[in-house]
Amino acid sequence: MRILVLGGDGYLGWPTALHFSRAGHEVGVVDSFARRQYDHEMGVDSLVPIVPLFRRVRTWEEVAGLTIDTFVGDLTDAEFVKKTLREFRPHAIVHFAEQRSAPYSMIDQKHAVYTQVNNVVGTLNLLYSIAEVDPDIHLVKLGTMGEYGTPNIDIEEGFIEITHRGRTDVLPYPKQPGSFYHLSKVHDSANIMFACKIWGLRSTDLNQGIVYGQETPEAVLHPDLATRFDYDGVFGTVLNRFCVQAVVGHPLTVYGSGGQTRGMLDIRDTLACVELAVGAPPAAGEYRVFNQFTESFSVMQLAEMVVDAYPGRVDISSVQDPRVELEEHYYRAAHTKLLDLGLVPHLLDQGMLSSLLAVADRHRDRVDPDAIRATVEWKRTASWLPTAGRRSDGLARSSR
């Protein structure tokens, strides 16, 4: 197959491209290098050094004898998207090309607007281009379990059967996103479902949990092929942060009570899930949703697992939660569709934790302790608003 990976220079996009290339597919990657710019903006860097994309591609050709086509551009540029699809003619598109940090989207108005424009407009451009160039292209889009929030009922895979006043229908599962980033994913899902309905497109929405791990079978073949390891307070994931804190002797910072529970999966399972989705495309006009995670853990459970896995002393410290979220809640989500397709999960165990800790320890000289601190607050008060335009009751006044 010809597979185009959007966001192919990123944490998941790059190892996905390598995985499909090694499996014998013709692979192209698209990237604008926005993710690297976020590092410059935040003053942080991946714990594991990563080299430029063109060097990555050249090294892959030297190591594996395989080529990967590269396309540099932004999905918000509609003509670029259309031109790329016409040139590469993909059978499937794997879409990772979005700003993916909830804290980044909550920094301020500018970052919230950027996140939604980048993500929603980029995906809309992609949908229009697929419809015009080849409606038979299978779009595999990375969504997030964060679209659902934490309802007090079981979470289904995309849809739920509702009986109301004696009538029954299957409807999209209600969404309760927790950030402007997660809201952008909700908008994407609605737009993709609508495009499938009106244009006969085919799409798989992968509502993914939190991914952990940095090493994949292809990425470990050469240092130039390594993917990212983010631990900072804006783009870092909770398990990465805990592992880095452990090796540098910093208490593991648990937000609030630590009862926040999320679905999680190994990076190798991300590659397997995407491969399974691509290998079993939906029918024309079908929009389907897979919940892509393998296990659920609370934040406190993860901290305790790191404490148990690390050979030295590690303390756990509770800090004020910068987010607006329930710190204790019910969480039970269905995730059977990928298992039915043949997924054999890698579960989080002492071996994986030891591997993550080893990666963190190997690069401990690159750790910036200040970068770990949570600096983005979800709550905003009237005092935060600009003085101009503020009403006497403390509420913002319309500029119209």
104: in domain: yes
30: in domain: yes
For position 296, which CATH number holds? 3.40.50.720
| pLDDT for the residue 386 | 52
Task: List alpha helices for the chain, DSSP H.
Answer: 13-22, 34-42, 53-64, 78-88, 102-105, 109-116, 122-133, 180-199, 238-247, 267-279, 299-309, 337-341, 350-362, 369-372
321: in domain: yes
Q: Which of 372, 373, 371, 377 is nearest to 325 (CA)?
A: 377
Low pLDDT (below 70) residues in the chain: 381-400
186: in domain: yes
| pLDDT for the residue 395 | 33
257: in domain: yes
Query: Which one from 84, 123, 185, 253 is the annotated catalytic residue?
Result: 185
| pLDDT for the residue 384 | 54
| pLDDT for the residue 390 | 39
- Is 185 a catalytic site residue? yes
Residue for token digits 């964060």? 146
Domain count across the chain: 1
167: in domain: yes
Q: Which amino acid is at 117?
A: V
Strand order of the β-sheet with 261-266 is: 210-212, 261-266, 295-298
| pLDDT for the residue 380 | 76
352: in domain: yes
CA atoms within 13 A on the CB side of 292: 28
| pLDDT for the residue 107 | 97
State the residue range of the domain holding 338: 2-380
- Is 261 a catalytic site residue? no
Query: Which one from 38, 181, 255, 287 is the annotated catalytic residue?
Result: 181
Query: Which one from 16, 115, 123, 144 is the annotated catalytic residue?
Result: 144
- Is 144 a catalytic site residue? yes
Return the number of other C-beta atoms located less than 10 Å from residue 172's C-beta: 16
58: in domain: yes
